[in-house]
Homo-oligomer: A and B are copies of this chain.
Amino acid sequence: MKKLTLKDIASHFGVSISTVSKSLKDSSEISREVKVKIQEYAKEHHYKPNRVALNLLNKTTKAIGVIVPNILNYFFTQVFYGIEQSANARGYTIISCISDESYKKELQTVELLGSGIVDGIILSLSEETQARDNTEHLQNLIENHVPMVLFDRVTEKISCDKIVVDDFEAGYNTTKHLLKTGCNKIAIISTIYNSSVGKLRVEGYKKALRESGFNYDGKNVVEVGKNEDLQLLISLLLDNREIDAIIALDEMTAVDTLNILKLKGITVPDEISIVGFTNGRLSKYVSPALTMVSQHGKYIGELAANILVDRIEYEGEMPFTTKLVKTTLIERDSTKKDQ
- Closest B-chain residue to A55, C-beta based? B52
Question: A114 contacts B285, CB within 8 Å?
Answer: no
A93 within 8 A of B: yes
Given A77-B71, A111-B48, A114-B48; A93-B97 close (CB under 8 Å): yes
A1: chain B residues at CB < 8 Å are 145
A46 within 8 A of B: yes
A287: chain B residues at CB < 8 Å are 286-287
Question: B282 contacts A144, CB within 8 Å?
Answer: no
B-contacting residues, A66-84, CB 8 Å: 71-72, 77-78, 80-81, 84
Question: A49 contacts B115, CB within 8 Å?
Answer: yes
- Closest B-chain residue to A58, C-beta based? B52
A322 within 8 A of B: no
Question: B285 contacts A52, CB within 8 Å?
Answer: no
CB of A115, distance to nearest CB on chain B (Å) = 4
- Closest B-chain residue to A45, C-beta based? B143
Q: How far is the CA of A77 from the CA of B117 in the complex (A)?
A: 24
Q: How far is the CA of A105 from the CA of B145 in the complex (A)?
A: 31
Q: Knowing that A48-B144, A94-B97 are A-B contacts, what are 4 other residue pairs whose CB atoms are under 8 Å apart, sorted by A's residue number? A: A51-B116, A53-B116, A55-B117, A286-B286
